[in-house]
Structure 1
């Protein structure tokens, strides 16, 4: 079986499980499922940070359970705390992550890595809960931006890739891949505009901004892997690597997409 075949089959299996969960899982089950995903990603983050195996397990369990306890224990105060988590994620991705990549920071100290893992993963979980509560169409519409960009970049990069995007961070990524993602998302924006009656220019600008964030999240995880001396964050997903490899772009796009939706809802 070729690597591409494994990649496609794994993606199809993931979609076969994930899409029904989006459509039919009640809020409590969705929260548990997504906490499980974030817990697996947290374990991989800890291993990338060279935590001992037992410490990585404890970190992952504490992060996943802590997220669930917060959403249930805070009760009526959860929406306020959820907004705070989204703002934390927005701040990190708009200001800290670009500086991190530009400065080629290592930040190898265990406490720093543990804290950054929380900032990267917990706001993503909060965003998944918020978007799911707004309906399957909203969540899938946002997720599709990252999925389309990732797929188009992969095939465009394989076919046409010549010019490296950030060779010091991720030698495999190319400007041609980004261009392919941009074209695919422009078509997606046009389709959304026609089908949903949304104004094309604002929609296109939002999607273009989320493409930038998608690339940023991908590059950020690539840099962490490069510093750690690891090719993939894990091996649980054949053809894709680890869970963190699959959600890296979501960690940067979902909090900001959620923040924009929150702003729109409160502006109406």
Structure 2
């Protein structure tokens, strides 16, 4: 199966589920994706023996427990806050080389902070509106595509050559321009969100999506692998497809909630 066939198959499952699946089924489906991502995280983190499978199962079970909690909304807000601390403080220090957690428990905790808040954001945003979730995810996808094409055409100045040599500042500029146009166009679709607010939201999500992408690239470079897995032919693993989303979605959900835009 080639890259295009995999993408078509994923969309054929994702779009109907996004708009028509019952809330419980959607949460379970995303928990399965979280489990698959957790398995890949454990593998590239060199968890020994059977621990990658146990970690994956534990991630899925933890997601289900949170979903069934009477205080589900509060638990999800806590996850957003934890993600904000991790992506806003820990991940930049990690990438700057000022702190690297190499122990099993540190890697297990970091993997949980990367994956579980993203699961919560996908469930919560979809519960508010499938179109809202799709719009936020599209923002990340547009940024990624624009950065790729702008970087290939104009890329001269490397963004992080020691982590991901293919990324450039020109790619970032292309992504910023594309997101400015996209955010301005969709601002009217979110209650209370005006163009300046939409541009600030887009800028924040661009920053965190790049951070998520670089963080997973760093993990793979340390592990000596090109892809996080082989589950998606032509695309690599689950983490390869959701690395930017893992950072951007919890931040988006938190901002939209606390700004009373949802």
CA distance in 2, matches of 1:239, 1:150: 17
Q: Which runs of 5+ in 1 are unaligned?
A: none
- Asked whether the 8 Å contact 1:40–1:60 carries over to 2, the reply is yes
Aligned residues: 261
Where 2:11 maps in the other structure, the secondary structure is helix
CA distance in 2, matches of 1:179, 1:205: 15
Deviation at 1:195, TM superposition (A): 6.2
Deviation at 1:196, TM superposition (A): 6.2
- Asked whether the 8 Å contact 1:146–1:214 carries over to 2, the reply is yes
Partner residue of 1:78 out of 57, 60, 72: 72
Higher helix share: 1
Output the TM-score relative to the length of structure 2.
0.93
- 1:116 aligned residue: 110
CA distance in 2, matches of 1:260, 1:195: 16
Deviation at 1:158, TM superposition (A): 2.6
- 1:251 aligned residue: 246
Where 2:166 maps in the other structure, the secondary structure is strand
Where 2:96 maps in the other structure, the secondary structure is helix
CA distance in 1, matches of 2:102, 2:138: 33
Where 1:107 maps in the other structure, the secondary structure is coil
- 2:47 aligned residue: 51
Partner residue of 1:222 out of 201, 217, 226: 217
- Asked whether the 8 Å contact 1:47–1:53 carries over to 2, the reply is no
Residues 27-68 of structure 1, C-alpha deviations (whole Å, 9 max, x = no match): 100010000000000000000101135210111011111210
Output the TM-score relative to the length of structure 1.
0.91
- Say which is worse superposed, 217-226 or 186-195, in terms of deviation: 186-195
CA distance in 2, matches of 1:217, 1:166: 13
Distance change (3 Å), C-alpha of 1:237 and 1:31: same
Partner residue of 2:32 out of 15, 36, 61: 36
Distance change (3 Å), C-alpha of 1:151 and 1:8: farther
Where 1:173 maps in the other structure, the secondary structure is strand
CA RMSD of aligned residues (A): 1.9
- 1:233 aligned residue: 228
- 2:61 aligned residue: 65
- Say which is worse superposed, 81-90 or 245-254, in terms of deviation: 81-90
- Asked whether the 8 Å contact 1:30–1:129 carries over to 2, the reply is yes
- 2:14 aligned residue: 18
Mapping of residues 86-97 of structure 1, within 5 Å: 86-97=80-91
